[in-house]
Structure 1
Amino acid sequence: MATSIKIDDELKSRVQALASQRRRTPHWIMLEAIKQYVTREEAQESFKQEALESWRSYRETGRHLSVQETNEWLESWGRDDKAPPECHE
């Protein structure tokens, strides 16, 4: 899929300068920037969807862990092979 974008002269100059410094083409610099942005945004959206699903599940079941239970388990990381605590109502 061929796509074109319009960028202002200042940004174009910055991309060209960076490409020269990195010994890459301006195309490579822009493609890499887009890849990193999309990857970051996909991860953020995935996190958001997981949080919404967790909230939905909590509202339906009431099952949860307290902050104290979670902190105690996290503090055991690296010292014990302690399994995570079970959720409860």
Structure 2
Amino acid sequence: MTAAAVRPVSIKIDEDAKARLKRLADARHRTSHWLMREAITQYVDREEKREAFRQDTLKAWEEYRATGLHVTADEADAWLAQLEQGNDIEPPACHA
């Protein structure tokens, strides 16, 4: 990230949160600013992954509704059990 891309943003937090942040920053030998940036980055990364998963789920549901193709829970469980045992087998074929 270049210095030109960084823009200051202010947030309002209560005094208790500010004190807790300061104590944690001191314990980690970091600045409060660094901890806040790290927390925001981790949160955004996690939420982007969660949203991608949600979108994949909606897409899969729509595909199922359009085609009816699926595997049963028993078929999926049997395949996963084989993978767990170290057998690299193909997933079960989808059927209507």
TM-score range, shorter chain: over 0.9
State the partner residue of 1:84. Answer: 91
TM-score, with structure 1 as normaliser: 0.95
Task: Select between 79-88 and 27-36 the one with higher mean Cα deviation.
Answer: 79-88
Matches within 5 A, 1:8-87: 8-77=14-83, 78-87=85-94
* Cα distance per residue 1:21-64 (max 9 Å; x no partner): 00000000111111111111111111111100000000000000
CA RMSD of aligned residues (A): 0.9
Structure 2 runs not aligned, ≥5 long: 1-6
Structure 1 runs not aligned, ≥5 long: none
Q: Which amino acid aligns with 2:48?
A: E
TM-score, with structure 2 as normaliser: 0.88
Provide the rounded CA distance (Å) in 1 between the counterparts of 2:76 and 2:34: 44
| SS of aligned partner of 1:63 | coil
Count of paired positions: 89
Provide the rounded CA distance (Å) in 2 between the counterparts of 1:81 and 1:8: 53
